[in-house]
Amino acid sequence: MNIVVTSKEEILKTSRKLIQQQGWSAVNIRSVAAACGVSVGSIYNYFDSKAELIGATVESVWCEIFHRPEDESIFQDTQACILWMYGRMQYGCKQYPGFFTLHSMGFMREDKLDGKKRMQQTWQHILEALCSVLKRDPQVRPSAFTESFTVEKFADVLFSLMLSALLRQDYDPSAVLEIVRRTLY
């Protein structure tokens, strides 16, 4: 007897693959179960609903796109970090066409609270990483930040520019890098 064993990570990996191959509409309990070679009940062992499966899939896509690089020096330099982030955005757009625009707009509706919450947690993690890089970057002049112009506010501006670039599918970081140079150095 051939017994198929699966895990939450395998289910999410399969869901990501379905998105890459067929788009968001391909991800539902039945299609994921079929693609994993397991029963629908096996998927329900890990996810209570389609919404929960979709939310977890979105989170796993964000994690794949923005997984920490092996080269930790990227997080010591603001410009290197921005270049890395824009490169990862471009990677994400190629791997998951329409991901950034479709899911973010879809999760703004009230019935998608789990997905929206997961997306906002991921965004918060990215914002915190930007703050950390800005605080550690030895090139930032000491007077760059003040009581009213904080690291957190500047990270929020950088992140807003990044989100705007995602929606426009514009992965050229040169304007953002120029803002960083003029503001911080």
Are 92 and 61 in contact, with CB atoms under 8 Å apart?
yes
With a pLDDT cut of 70, the percent of the chain lying above it is: 88
> Do 71 and 156 belong together in one domain?
yes
Q: Can you say whether the dihedral through the CA atoms of 21, 25, 30, 32 is positive or negative?
A: positive
Residue range 87-100: mean pLDDT, rounded: 88
Q: Which CATH number do you get for residue 14? A: 1.10.10.60
Closest Cα to residue 7, out of 46, 58, 53, 49? 46
> Do 29 and 90 belong together in one domain?
no
> Do 141 and 166 belong together in one domain?
yes
pLDDT in tens, 72-91: 888 899 999 999 999 999 99
Tally the domains of the chain.
Answer: 2
In angstroms, the Cα distances linking 161 to 4, 158, 168 are 45, 5, 11
> Do 152 and 97 belong together in one domain?
yes
What range defines the domain where residue 174 resides?
A: 61-184
> Do 21 and 101 belong together in one domain?
no
pLDDT in tens, 8-62: 999 999 999 999 999 888 899 999 999 999 999 999 999 999 989 988 898 899 8
**Cα–Cα distance, 156 to 143 (Å, whole number):** 19
> Do 18 and 104 belong together in one domain?
no
Q: Provide the phi-psi class of 172: left if phi over 0, else alpha when psi is between -120 and 50, else beta.
A: beta
pLDDT of residue 114: 65
> Do 36 and 68 belong together in one domain?
no
> Do 129 and 154 belong together in one domain?
yes
